[in-house]
Structure 1
Amino acid sequence: MMKYFGSAYKFGSLGGLFCLVSFLFLAWLYGDPTNLNLVFGYIIVPIVIFLAIKYFKDYTNEGMLSFSEGMSVGFVAYMILGIISGLGIWLVLLISDDLFQSILSAKLQILAENKDMIIGQVGEKSFDTTKNSINEMTALDVALNDSLWKIIPGLFFTIIISIILRKTQ
């Protein structure tokens, strides 16, 4: 397993740091950086996975790559990326309560602006449940959401990239 970890931790760590920097930069530009940071994550996650698997294939495994090796390297890369990104965002939100309150108020404002449409689609009870959930949201919830939306797509990107880069004897 160390063979896979050694090839993937560099790219996963770098990707996680990029996601954290993206969050900070977007927080500086906008009140709620969470949605745009998710979009950035959809761009960076496949790049990180591709680079990690390609590096493993070319420099560690002598140009060969089985599907399982690609999945292992990709798993390590996207898990590290998601963990670093989530932990970093959580720490930033714990330190900066103003940023967390800005995110919370932006989400409540969007909910209020779309109240009629939401009630028309899912009903008053669901709207109230969503509003209560947002009011009870914590910094950890924001960080976990960010991490999950990097880890879950990472699995699908890893499957596709592992199939594309697979080369056996």
Structure 2
Amino acid sequence: MIKYFGSAYQFGTLGGILSLIAFGVLAWMVPDPTNLNLIFGYIITPISIFLALKFFKDYTNNGFLSFAEGMSVGFVTYMIIALLSVVGIWAIFQVFPEFFETVKASKLQVMANSRDTIISQVGEASYENTQESLLKMSPLDIALNDGIWKIVPGLFFTIIISIILRKNPN
């Protein structure tokens, strides 16, 4: 089993660590790094998946890669990235609760500034429900959201990269 997932563990861990580093650097630069960290995730996730699949194909599997192998290695890669990201962001918020409150206040301020636009698009009831949800938001909610937005594009990129790199023995 380690034969199939060795590169996934390596590049998934690397991607997760880079994601946490990005979150830390962005937290130092802006009051709410969550949205910018999602953009970084759209960059690091496909790169990590590509490297894991390419490394698996070239160095572990004698130059061959089936679609199923690509999907399996890619799945493990993006799940490790997401797991490390969720645990790391949650831990950062646990260690620095004032930082979580700053992020939460920033999200509430964005809602307040966009009140009229949001109400015109989705209605007052939806706006009130969203605001209530933001008030109840916990550090785990933000961490899970970040993890989900590593998994969703990870699946998409894994499909594409697995098709591109696929090479079966004749």
Report the TM-score, using the length of structure 1 for normalisation: 0.99
1:29 corresponds to: 29
Aligned to 1:91: 91
- Counterpart of 1:144 in structure 2 is 144
AA aligned opposite 2:131: K
Q: Which residue is equivalent to 1:4?
A: 4
| TM-score normalised per structure 2 | 0.98
Deviation at 1:5, TM superposition (A): 1.8
Task: Kindly report structure 1 stretches of 4+ aligned residues shifted beyond 3 Å.
Answer: none
- 1:112 is aligned to 112
Count of aligned residue pairs for this structure pair: 169
Report the Cα offset of residue 2 of structure 1.
2.5
For residues 95 and 87 of structure 1, the distance between their equivalents in structure 2, rounded to whole angstroms, comes to 12
Corresponding position of 1:75: 75
Q: Conserved in 2, the CA contact under 8 Å of 1:4 and 1:76?
A: no
Match of 1:161 in 2: 161
Alignment RMSD, CA only?
0.6
Please report how far the alpha carbon of residue 78 of structure 1 lies from its aligned counterpart in structure 2 after TM superposition: 0.3
Structure 1 unmatched ranges of 5 or more: none
Amino acid at match of 2:84: I
Deviation string 1:66-104 (CA, Å, 9 cap, x unpaired) is: 000000100010000100011000000011011101100
Q: Matches of 1:16 and 1:102 in 2, distance apart? A: 24
Query: What is the distance in 2 between the residues matched to 1:5 and 1:162?
Result: 15
Distance in 2 (alpha carbons) for counterparts of 1:122 and 1:71: 38
Query: How many Å separate the matches in 2 of 1:13 and 1:30?
Result: 25
Post-superposition shift, 1:152?
1.1
Distance 2:123 2:59 in 1: 56
